[in-house]
Amino acid sequence: MTKMYETLKLEQVSDHVLVVYINRPEARNAMNTQMGLDLRELWQEIYVDQGDLRCVVVTGTGDKAFCAGGDLKERNGMSDAQWQRQHAIFEQAVLALLQVPVPVIAAVNGAAFGGGTEIALCCDFIYAAERARFALTEITLGIIPGAMGTQNLPRAVGDRRAKEIILTGLPFDADDGLKWGMVNKVCENERLLEETLATATRIAENAPLSTRRAKRVVSLAREVDIHSGYALELEAYNRLVPTEDRLEGVRAFNEKRRPDFKAR
């Protein structure tokens, strides 16, 4: 992808892997209105046309912050109507992120507060640097999480831990996130992107049609009963049987070579 964004930096690190940098380091990568517009457009574009893209990594520019949440300097003095109009853009952006067909990995390189934690939670899973810090601080500002934090956090850490995190507004570190099930892996600070890209590359080497369908079915698993979920799994499975990639995967296994998947 070659499109330029005001608040995002895109780096195509291989034919199949894209890194998205949240890029407002002067504001600790805080989310202003333009960032909401940029994120919404990016995720919608990927939803419409993945091209050769098979995995996305989201991280922050610099070594201090992944995303410090909503830009309270921009929000200072907003009317209720202006605040809600801006928030509607953020709502559309996170909903669009959830709908991205290819896997999205958060590489949390520093502070992820408020909306920063919520963006990470909307990704498929999270790798975090040792220095990463998380918090849902909205309750200390007289609001509550509004970018799916009250929905995604309990699914990651359980209801009781989520209530403690949200109701106190207190920060927690990467090791706590790992222990509680929100973070998949804690990496040395300087190796975060390297290790995240290694996983993204491994995902991108697998059959892309299979990867997208597996992501979709797993994402729905908590939303339906087990029999309905299994029916969705079997539908996805049977759609993959007649694909060229399924034939290539079996051939490559028997020929003891790496498969060359074409997303067909």
List active site positions: 118, 138
Q: Are the beta carbons of 127 and 187 closer than 8 angstroms?
A: yes
DSSP string, 23-55: --GGGTT-B-HHHHHHHHHHHHHHHH--TT--E
Using DSSP's 3-state secondary structure scheme, residue 244 falls into helix
Q: Which amino acid would we find at residue 13?
A: V
Eight-state DSSP code of residue 207: -
d(CA 170, CA 166): 8
Q: Which amino acid would we find at residue 195?
A: E
Contacts of 109 (CB under 8 A, 6+ apart): 59, 60, 62, 63, 65, 66, 129, 131, 132, 189, 192, 193
d(CA 201, CA 30): 28
